Amino acid sequence: MDIVTVVGARPQFIKAAVVSHAFLQAGFRERIVHTGQHYDPGMSDVFFSELGIPLPDTNLEVGSGSHGAQTGAMMIGLESYLQTKRPDWLVVYGDTNSTLACAIVGAKLGIPVAHVEAGLRSFNMRMPEEINRIVTDRLSGLLFCPTQTAVEHLAREGMTKGVHLTGDVMLDATRFFAHRAAESRPLESILKGAPSSYFLATVHRAENTDDPSRLEAILQAFGQIEKTIVWPVHPRTRNLLSRFLVSGNIRIIEPVSYLAMLTLISQSSKVLTDSGGLQKEAVWLGKPCITMRDETEWTETLEGGWNQIVGADSHAIVRAISLEPTGPAPLFGSVAGGTASSHICRILAESFNPPASDHPSK
């Protein structure tokens, strides 16, 4: 089977890492297209080398831009590439502009699309990611759902054909790479003189970084917390922070690799984030999470108060810090009979219909 995988952003590199390993073991031929959505070496190149992902067959080098300009440039590059390659399946991940662009081009060219992490919904149409999810799910022939909740979302929208509950490939990645992260000890060079106890923070979503009032409220809350906050900051967000007063308890560092991030989570006391994936990783690694968004796609993380949704409300953020979860951390994203990656490989293999030979045996 000939597969083209399209990725463009950090979370997709991580998801593709474990699935690509499974593809290799299954004997599938895979070519990776990097759209260049994340083009900074610290956000892109290091993930390929660290996670053992095959080097991209091509990099479209699209870079940043408005949603329309970025998605349009990706579609032009993908169309040119796919017209000559014509794979059996296109595999896309998550909800980025790279995902949307590939789904549209695949549908136009008649190449079937398999969507890993299908069925997620925030029910917030102001989020570009929500639009990307809905369109991609509509255009995909195979929908690989990480949870039963995602399956139910699709059913309510009238989609049941090609829908499969596979489990969460991010759980595969967290389990596989957490041990490797502990062995590599990546924090020694990142957090010299690190405090014995700290909170980990990430803030990157446009709803927070592009709204000065929300970003200021988050910074004010951080300043009221009596603990060091370690914050790996994307270069774009770092530029925005120059407009605000940043409290002395906030330790800003450069973006880190995936292994380093797993170690940062594991050694933190709590996690404050607006990331989708980090909510899950925190809970899976037994760390209470405070999510600075107005909703979450990962409702499973809310069980027992392990994840609290606080928006960009300073008082709510500070109050959530004082609360502790009850009961064991919820475990979700697992399906009996194998890992999410192995289920995805099996379903793709079962759906493969190779063309009839041009020279049939007599």
pLDDT in tens, 258-306: 888 998 999 899 999 999 899 999 999 999 999 999 999 999 999 999 9
Q: Is 331 exposed, middle or buried (0-12, 13-18, 19+ CB in 10 A)?
A: exposed
For 330, counting Cβ atoms within 10 Å of its Cβ (0-12 exposed, 13-18 middle, 19+ buried), the class is middle
Residue whose C-alpha is closest to residue 251's, from 262, 240, 263, 264: 264
pLDDT of the residue at 362: 33
234-254: buried (b, 16+ CB within 10 Å) or exposed (e) per residue? beebeebbeeeeeeebbeeee
Residue 190 pLDDT > 80: no
Q: How far apart are CA 330 and CA 168, in angstroms?
A: 14
Candidate list 21, 179, 204, 343, residue with the active-site label: 204
Class of domain 2-168+335-350: alpha beta
**Closest-CA residue to 103 (of 177, 111, 36, 237):** 111
Asked if 2-168+335-350 and 180-321 have one fold, the answer is yes
| Percentage with pLDDT > 70 across the chain | 91
Domain layout of the chain by residue ranges? 2-168+335-350, 180-321
Domain 180-321 is in which class? alpha beta
8 A C-beta contact, residue 112 and residue 89: yes
Q: What is the pLDDT of residues 203-252, one digit of tens each?
A: 999 899 999 999 999 999 999 999 999 999 987 788 889 889 899 999 99
Token code pair at residue 74: 């990706």
Answer yes or no: 153 catalytic.
Answer: no
Measure the CA angle with vertex 54, ends 190 and 19; round to 5°.
90
Tens of pLDDT, residues 43-96? 556 667 778 888 899 999 888 788 999 999 999 999 999 999 999 999 999 999
Give the integer Cα–Cα distance in Å for 248 and 270. 19
- Residue 70 structure tokens: 């970025």
Question: Nearest-CA neighbor of 347 among 103, 22, 11, 5?
Answer: 22
